[in-house]
Amino acid sequence: MFDGNFRATVDKATTPVGKSLHRIGVSPDVITGIGVVMAAACAVAIGTGQFLLAAVLLALTGVPDALDGAVAKAAGSSGPRGAYLDSVSDRLSDGLLFGGAAWYLAGTANPRMAMLPFALYLAASLVSYQRAKAESLGFDAKGGLMERAERFIALGVGLVFSAIFVQILWLMLVLTIITAITRFVKVWRQASAARPARLKKQTRQAETSIFTRRASRSPREPRTDWRGRTRRRASSRRR
């Protein structure tokens, strides 16, 4: 949701910063790596129950995530390699953050609650995979109530207001599942609409190919029957 509505605003704000970082020789890969390190530090803070420190580290984790793309554009190095690295680092950061939450909940009075962040990570991974797979097939799977930006904001609220941390996680899980269902339906409809069009195109191509072969055949070219034997002309049979 935020990715579609505020992406242009974020890009406009980060572009000058990205150019400045590129001028002083900062690599976008380095910025991506810093983001992963900050996510690991945030996970440790969550696991040890230092929620206010974790909230600060979470905010710092989002800064490299917003700047690496701007630096790559300023350097003219945007491409599949950087996009792949960014996607992998995002999944790793998510796993670290939810792992920290699971570690913390495992040490509470109800250790079974550690399964909540685990379920949330599975749902979030499904949402990310749906978008990646849909885009590889030429479909659009963007949008939803709980994308990565929303997960960062909601987790930050839960860390600041630690009394409702578990409730925030439950809310995130429900909204993430709804997002996964919404994306599945969206891509399913696109794929269902594209299939009849593809079949019609293949039929037209097949008909055109048959017509072309018939038109290119010489009038004197002998025809064969279903057994592959050359058929005699009617005039020769009446001799």
- C-alpha count within 13 angstroms, C-beta hemisphere, residue 42: 26
Q: Which residues pair with 230 in a beta bridge?
A: 224
Q: Is 68 a catalytic residue?
A: no
What is the C-alpha to C-alpha distance for residues 33 and 131, in angstroms, rounded to an integer?
Answer: 23
Q: Considering 65, 68, 86, 90, which one is annotated as catalytic?
A: 90
Q: Which residues pair with 170 in a beta bridge?
A: none
Tokens of 137: 């097939």
DSSP annotation of 231: P
What is the C-alpha to C-alpha distance for residues 86 and 18, in angstroms, rounded to an integer?
Answer: 16
What is the C-alpha to C-alpha distance for residues 89 and 29, in angstroms, rounded to an integer?
Answer: 10
Q: Which residues pair with 146 in a beta bridge?
A: none
Give me the amino acid identity at 140: D
| Residue 134, C-beta contacts closer than 8 angstroms, at least 6 positions apart | 140, 141, 183, 187, 190
Question: In 10 A of CB 148, how many CB atoms?
Answer: 18
Catalytic residue annotation: 90
